[in-house]
Amino acid sequence: MLFTISEMQTKLRQHIEKIIPLTDEEFAVVFSHFSFRKVKKHQFLIQEGDSVNHSYFVVSGLLKLSYTDANDKEHILHFAMEDWWVSDYKAYFTKAKATMSLDCLEDANVFCLSLDDHNKLCGSLPKMEHFFLTKSHYGYIASQQRILSLLTTSAKERYEQLLIQYPSLIQRVNKTLLASYLGVSRETLSRLSS
């Protein structure tokens, strides 16, 4: 799927306007704070140890945010597809080094927002602070739900929930990655789905 910049711009605008209405002038201000980047499969936007300079809005494609533990086992915090915001936010907001990595599973188009530009944008357009606050609330709520699902349900139930919630992911992501998102071994997931 190919997009022109102007189509992608529209996607970003529609995304924001789900929460706050914007005039053309306002959107122009918003848009001027972003930069654009194409990412190819297997490319990293963030690697462990990097400074994290941007938060990313995914226009198209698929990314994964993951953490690799001391035993070299990868754990997936979440996937990020169309219309998602993603970064190692701990590192981003605290200006610390990344402990997570963000890499590309399917060629992607992303808009990039530096912390500096984020702050300037909120300064010049207070509505945007409201937009980000709303987004952040939803992100928080989603994480709480994920915690609950890890605390209360079995691997099988989590897999079934995922099938219902994000049916498309199962087509797009291999089982090994799904397993490490669900918090089970590849082998166990294989046995569950058969």
Partner DNA sequence: ATTTCAGCGTGATGTAGATCACATTAAGAG
Partner DNA sequence: CTCTTAATGTGATCTACATCACGCTGAAAT
CA 34 to chain centre: 16
Residues near 93 by beta carbon (within 8 Å), at least 6 away in sequence: 115
Which DSSP category does 65 fall into? E
User: Toward DNA, which CB reaches closer, 52 or 104?
Assistant: 104
Binding status of residue 146 toward its own copies by CB under 8 A: yes
Residues between 17 and 46 with contacts to DNA, criterion CB under 7 A: none
Least spacing, CB of residue 1 vs DNA, in Å: 17
Which tokens go with 81?
């597809």
Residues between 76 and 115 with contacts to its own copies, criterion CB under 8 A: 77, 89-90, 93
**SS3 state at 170:** helix
CA 29 to chain centre: 23
Stretch that binds its own copies, among 25-33, 104-112, 121-129, 161-169 (CB under 8 A): 121-129
Among 169, 123, 162, residue whose Cα is nearest residue 146: 162
Which tokens go with 55?
């938060």
Binding status of residue 184 toward DNA by CB under 7 A: yes
CB-CB contact of 50 with 102 (8 Å): no
Binding status of residue 133 toward its own copies by CB under 8 A: yes
User: Toward DNA, which CB reaches closer, 1 or 151?
Assistant: 151
Applying CB under 8 A, which residues contact its own copies?
67, 69, 73, 75, 77, 89-90, 93, 122, 126, 129-130, 132-133, 136-137, 139-141, 143-148, 150-152, 183
Applying CB under 7 A, which residues contact DNA?
73, 154-156, 174-176, 183-191, 193-194
